[in-house]
Amino acid sequence: MTESLNGTVALVTGASSGIGAATAQTLAAGGAAVALLGRRGERLRALADEIKANGGAALVLEADITDPEQAKAAVEQLVADLGRLDTVVNNAGASFVGPIEDAPPQEWDRMIAVNVEGVLHVTRAALPHLVNAAQDSPRRVADLVTISSTAGRFARPGQAVYALTKSAVNAFSEAIRQELQPKRVRVGVVAPGTVDTELATHLRDGIREAVMQQIASIEPLRPQDVADAVAYMVTRERRVAVNEMLVRAAAQTW
């Protein structure tokens, strides 16, 4: 049995495309008012219009979560406009791959800033509101979900720093899961395998072609597949906590 998200408010980071956009649409269809956080305002506004046209409620929050002040201000604006915060989906991510010896340090910095520091900034800003929501909502529970990766469990050549960042958020999530359990804030991680998103288009020439060749033989996950996993987590009755989901493309061997 699932619980309705009617009357709840959800925040999705990296909501302008891919997994984030699909997750926002899915949570909105389930009854949540959804705050769309990201840097690409035009895309966020288009998604908000689509959600509203389908009968949902959406708020655009244009911000860079690698800046702690912007992350905090976005969460404060959300609560001021929508009144509460029941669900957070830390989805924003950066992925650069390739051999460690010739990788530009700027790529490392970007992955650490988005995949680790961005999760920390949003989580810290959101936690007081999640705790409050768990105390006073009819559901008596709140949810914090972070999108990790199979790379956080199974490191592979060419993914050293990306795997480092995803391993970090896995460990962070497990620690705060134990801290927040008495306060009825559930903490979960969804770890997808290969997903058909635009992340691969950000890779360097040569690296991009090698990655596309590697995955050419499999049918990748669609963003909706990951969104469905998130929705499953956050709609369980409060006695149930799904803390981790590993979701691979069926033909993926790694």
Nearest-10 crossing angle of helices 223-234, 18-29 = 40
Which pair of structure tokens corresponds to residue 240?
């149930």
30: Cβ contacts below 8 Å, ≥ 6 apart: 4, 5, 231, 235
Amino acid at 232: Y
In the residue annotation, 162 being an active-site residue is answered as: yes
Cβ burial, residue 53 (10 Å; 0-12/13-18/19+): exposed
**DSSP, res 38:** E
Angle, CA of 64, 65 and 66, to the nearest 5°? 95
Give the C-alpha separation, 97 to 123, whole Å.
26
CA-closest candidate to residue 116, choices 77, 52, 163? 163
Alpha helices (H) along 98-200 = 105-111, 119-136, 160-180
- Distance between CA 224 and CA 7 in Å, rounded? 23
Question: CB-based contacts of 37: which residues, under 8 Å, 6+ apart?
Answer: 11, 12, 13, 14, 15, 44, 61, 63, 65, 74, 92, 122
Please pick, among 59, 60, 162, 186, the residue that the annotation labels catalytic: 162
List active site positions. Answer: 162
